């Protein structure tokens, strides 16, 4: 007998198994670089930087046209509607923009932030134009507490089974028994 081959009925059976093993190795060797390239491309695309621009940042040319004495209507025509206005009156318009970058799944970081505040006088004319950048921004600590609400807190099973039998569609909560015809 030869090593790894068995001769039955004049045929060598081990040769077929050996050829199949070599064929699998060749197929894996051809497939491996393709799978590696696919995995690498998914990794590279997934780890790219995502830039997000939000808000309304007017052009510098249009901002240069906003001088003291310009009316609200003219400001609205040149710059568009503001992002927000002052809280208690309409005497200040704010144009706010923010650009963030996020790498893969990490927390986004603020790259640029601009606030343009346009103050109006009592006649609706521009008094001052102020600019605030990222260097003047202040971090606000968010409070994550929840406001308690009165009433009973239901558990999952109480919520799940609490409504059984309530929505029958008939008065009194009973379903009519169907006639059997007997």
Residue 172 carries which DSSP code?
Answer: G
What is the count of structural domains for the chain? 2
Q: Give CA–CA dist 120/109, Å, rounded.
A: 33
Q: What is the pLDDT of residue 93?
A: 95
If we measure between CA atoms, which residue out of 121, 120, 116 comes closest to residue 82?
116
Residue 123 carries which DSSP code?
Answer: T
Q: Tell me what the mean pLDDT of segment 138-163 comes to.
A: 81
pLDDT, one tens digit per residue, over 44-56 is 777 778 889 999 8
Q: Which two tokens stand for residue 63?
A: 């901002």
CATH code, 112: 3.30.1450
pLDDT, one tens digit per residue, over 27-36 is 777 888 888 8
Q: What is the pLDDT of residue 1?
A: 46
Per-residue pLDDT at 130 exceeds 90? yes
Q: What is the pLDDT of residue 124?
A: 93
Average pLDDT, the chain: 81
Q: Tell me what the mean pLDDT of segment 42-70 comes to.
A: 87
The reply to whether 102 and 40 lie within a common domain is no
Cβ atoms of 78 and 56 within 8 Å: the answer is no
Per-residue pLDDT at 2 exceeds 80? no
Q: Which two tokens stand for residue 181?
A: 């015809």
Per-residue pLDDT at 160 exceeds 90? no
Q: Which comes out higher in pLDDT, residue 173 or 84? A: 84
Domain that holds residue 70: 49-136
The reply to whether 86 and 54 lie within a common domain is yes
pTM exceeding 0.95: no
162 belongs to a structural domain: no
Q: Give CA–CA dist 81/90, Å, rounded.
A: 13
């Amino acid at each position: 007998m030869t090593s790894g081959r068995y001769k039955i009925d004049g045929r060598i059976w081990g040769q077929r198994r050996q050829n199949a093993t070599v064929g699998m190795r060749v197929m894996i060797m051809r497939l491996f670089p393709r799978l590696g390239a696919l995995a690498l491309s998914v990794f590279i695309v997934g780890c790219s930087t995502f830039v997000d621009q939000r808000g309304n940042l007017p052009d510098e040319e249009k901002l240069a046209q906003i001088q003291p004495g310009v009316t609200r209507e003219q400001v609205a025509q040149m710059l568009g509607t503001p992002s927000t206005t002052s809280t208690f009156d309409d005497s200040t318009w704010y144009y706010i923009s923010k650009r963030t970058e996020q790498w893969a799944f990490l927390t986004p970081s603020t790259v640029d932030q601009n606030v343009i505040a346009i103050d109006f006088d009592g006649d609706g004319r521009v008094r001052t134009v102020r600019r605030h950048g990222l260097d003047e921004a202040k971090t606000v600590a968010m409070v994550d507490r929840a406001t308690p609400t009165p009433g009973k807190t239901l558990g999952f099973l109480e919520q799940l089974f609490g409504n059984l039998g309530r929505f029958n569609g008939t008065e009194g909560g009973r379903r009519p028994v169907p006639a059997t015809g007997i």
